[in-house]
Amino acid sequence: MIFEVIPSIDLLDGNVVRLKRGSFDDVTVYSDNPVDTAKRWEVEGANWIHIVDLNGARDGKPLQRDIVERIAVDLTLKVQVAGGIRTIDHALEYMETSADRIVIGTIDDDLLRFAVEQLGPRLVVAVDARDREVRVSGWQRGTGENVIDACARFARAGVVRLLVTDIARDGVLEGPNVDLYREIVEAAQVPVLASGGVSSIDDLKTLAAVEGVEGAIVGKALYTGAVDLGTAMKAFVA
C-beta atoms surrounding 113 within 10 Å: 13
> Which candidate in 13, 66, 89, 128 is catalytic?
128
In this structure, which amino acid lies at residue 29?
A: V
- CA-to-CA distance for 138 and 53, rounded, in angstroms? 10
With the C-alpha atoms ordered 210, 214, 220, 223, is the resulting torsion angle positive or negative?
positive
What kind and span of H or E run contains 232? Answer: helix 229-235
Would you call 53 a catalytic residue per the annotation? no
Candidates 107, 85, 83; CA nearest to 24 is 83
With the C-alpha atoms ordered 216, 222, 225, 231, is the resulting torsion angle positive or negative?
positive
Would you call 74 a catalytic residue per the annotation? no
Q: What is the three-class DSSP state of 165?
A: strand
C-beta atoms surrounding 4 within 10 Å: 17
> Which candidate in 10, 53, 166, 203 is catalytic?
10
DSSP code, position 3: P
- CA-to-CA distance for 27 and 31, rounded, in angstroms? 12
Catalytic residues: 10, 128
